[in-house]
Amino acid sequence: MKHEPVHQGRLKTPFYSRLASLDTVNEWHEWKGYSSADQLYCSAMEYFAIRNATAVFDITPMTKYRITGPDALDYLNRLVTRDMARIRPGRVAYAVWCDDNGQVIDDGTIFHLREGEYRLCSQERHYAWLMAAAIGFDVTITHETEDVAALAVQGPTSYSVLAKMNLKGLDELKPFGLMHVDFQGSELMVSRTGFTGDLGYELWINPDKAEALWDALFEAGELHGIRAIGTTALDMARIEAGYLAAFEDFLPADETVRTGVSRSPLELGLEWLVDFTKPNFNGRRALAAEKRNGSTWRLVKLDIEGNKEAHHSYIYSNAKASGDNIGFVTSAVWSPVCKQNVALGTVKSAHGKPGDTVWVEVYYQREMHWNRKMAKATVVDKPFWFPPRRGATPPGPY
């Protein structure tokens, strides 16, 4: 850890000057100490940049830790539920990590940068937990959020934009792959990762080259509809993709006070990330017991009738809303690209199998007056948005 004076007030990312020059509405919020834009000119338009062109989102505030040392792999394998031995250098893994009770602390991505050298990224900060997990392991954990400037470049034209920047090897870069290229004498890391469920990349560079990278990117993207976006648009896209957000769709277990309000990976539809063939990982005993005895909750993706967004709605097993509710909606959005009213929710595990019908109690306001509607919803298995180009290599021009 570096010991520098504590920053006072809101931090600005290395891209702030560029974002500020595009900003017309002055809507910002705090993200782990940094200013992050809600929207820069119009969240709806920004959303369409994600789905129809190329959207650029500043992910510098995302928490980043460098994990190195002889035990780095063993350390990560004990930390997260999936088998990290399968993640070769140059690959990225979506992963989830739990406390001893098998409750999710956070999810994130782990980049196997080079042999034995990893970067873990997440929305929340986890230094204390990562250090506790390091007891007894020969690893070094370095908090490098401030040392790496990062941009998400997402959307159907993102490959074309980056191709124009002559990034060597881009056409061979597969989903969840990463590569290192030279950018004006600095090392630029390009990963085919993102939070939109579409074709997209993330660019990682030394902060002193941040503005140069931005400028080069926007120059290359000029004819491809490149747009900077804020969090509101991104959040719409991530719900369409069925991605979870901490504090929305689950509470980090180390932030909860009451029992029963956190979630296990099995309860979040992440069982595919839990590898019980690993001899040990945090939460293994508890998760094995949960697997034997059954989970309490189940995450559902809902396709809801009508066009009224079902924010925070109770979910019932029948249209009359008789009996206790079976759960509630955690994220909801009207999906413009799918033309569907979609939501993520949490229901008692007896309910909500794919194909099931449940009922969502939607409240909406019309000219001050509140209306209530019981909307029929179908539980779906697949993400709402999953275009073939997301998995294609090379993705092809657009």
Q: Nearest distance from residue 24's CB to other proteins, in Å?
A: 46
Please, are residues 299 and 358 in contact by the beta-carbon 8 Å criterion? no
Q: Choose which of 280, 293, 322, 365 interacts with other proteins (CB under 8 A).
A: 280
Q: Choose which of 3, 4, 6, 132 interacts with other proteins (CB under 8 A).
A: 132
Q: Does 99 bind other proteins (CB under 8 A)?
A: yes
For other proteins, the closer of residues 78 and 192 by Cβ is 78
Q: Does 133 bind other proteins (CB under 8 A)?
A: yes
For other proteins, the closer of residues 8 and 277 by Cβ is 277
Q: Judged by CB under 8 A, how many residues of this single chain contact other proteins?
A: 18
For 165-173, the CB contacts below 8 A with 24+ separation are: 165/216, 165/217, 165/220, 170/394, 171/393, 171/394, 172/393, 172/394, 173/201, 173/393
Q: Nearest distance from residue 101's CB to other proteins, in Å?
A: 8
Per DSSP, the three-state class of 145 is helix
Is 149 exposed, middle or buried (CB count within 10 Å of its CB: 0-12, 13-18, 19+)? buried
* Interface mask toward other proteins for 101-130; x: CB under 8 A: ----------------------------x-
Calculate Rg over the CA atoms of the chain: 21
For other proteins, the closer of residues 99 and 303 by Cβ is 99
For other proteins, the closer of residues 116 and 225 by Cβ is 116
Among positions 56-75, residues that touch other proteins (CB under 8 A) are 74
Q: Does 279 bind other proteins (CB under 8 A)?
A: yes
Q: Nearest distance from residue 369's CB to other proteins, in Å?
A: 48
Residue 27 CA, distance from chain mean position? 22
**Listed residue (310, 292, 392) closest to 358, CA to CA:** 310
Tokens of 55: 């959207």
Please, are residues 343 and 333 in contact by the beta-carbon 8 Å criterion? yes
Q: Does 135 bind other proteins (CB under 8 A)?
A: yes
> Quick one: which H or E segment has residue 153?
strand 149-154
Q: Choose which of 29, 285, 372, 389 interacts with other proteins (CB under 8 A).
A: 285
Please, are residues 232 and 39 in contact by the beta-carbon 8 Å criterion? yes
Q: Does 255 bind other proteins (CB under 8 A)?
A: no
**Listed residue (134, 249, 153, 145) closest to 194, CA to CA:** 153
Q: Nearest distance from residue 287's CB to other proteins, in Å?
A: 11
**Listed residue (348, 341, 350) closest to 240, CA to CA:** 341
Tokens of 25: 């509405």
Residue 72 CA, distance from chain mean position? 23
Q: Nearest distance from residue 99's CB to other proteins, in Å?
A: 6
For other proteins, the closer of residues 138 and 182 by Cβ is 138
Alpha helices in the chain (DSSP H): 16-22, 43-52, 72-79, 127-133, 158-164, 210-221, 231-240, 284-293
Q: Nearest distance from residue 134's CB to other proteins, in Å?
A: 9
Q: Does 257 bind other proteins (CB under 8 A)?
A: no
Q: Choose which of 9, 136, 185, 388 interacts with other proteins (CB under 8 A).
A: 136
For other proteins, the closer of residues 15 and 65 by Cβ is 65
For other proteins, the closer of residues 82 and 238 by Cβ is 82
For other proteins, the closer of residues 292 and 339 by Cβ is 292
For other proteins, the closer of residues 79 and 110 by Cβ is 79
Tokens of 396: 């092809």
Q: Nearest distance from residue 299's CB to other proteins, in Å?
A: 24
Report the interface residues with other proteins, using CB under 8 A: 74, 78-79, 99-100, 129, 132-133, 135-137, 279-285
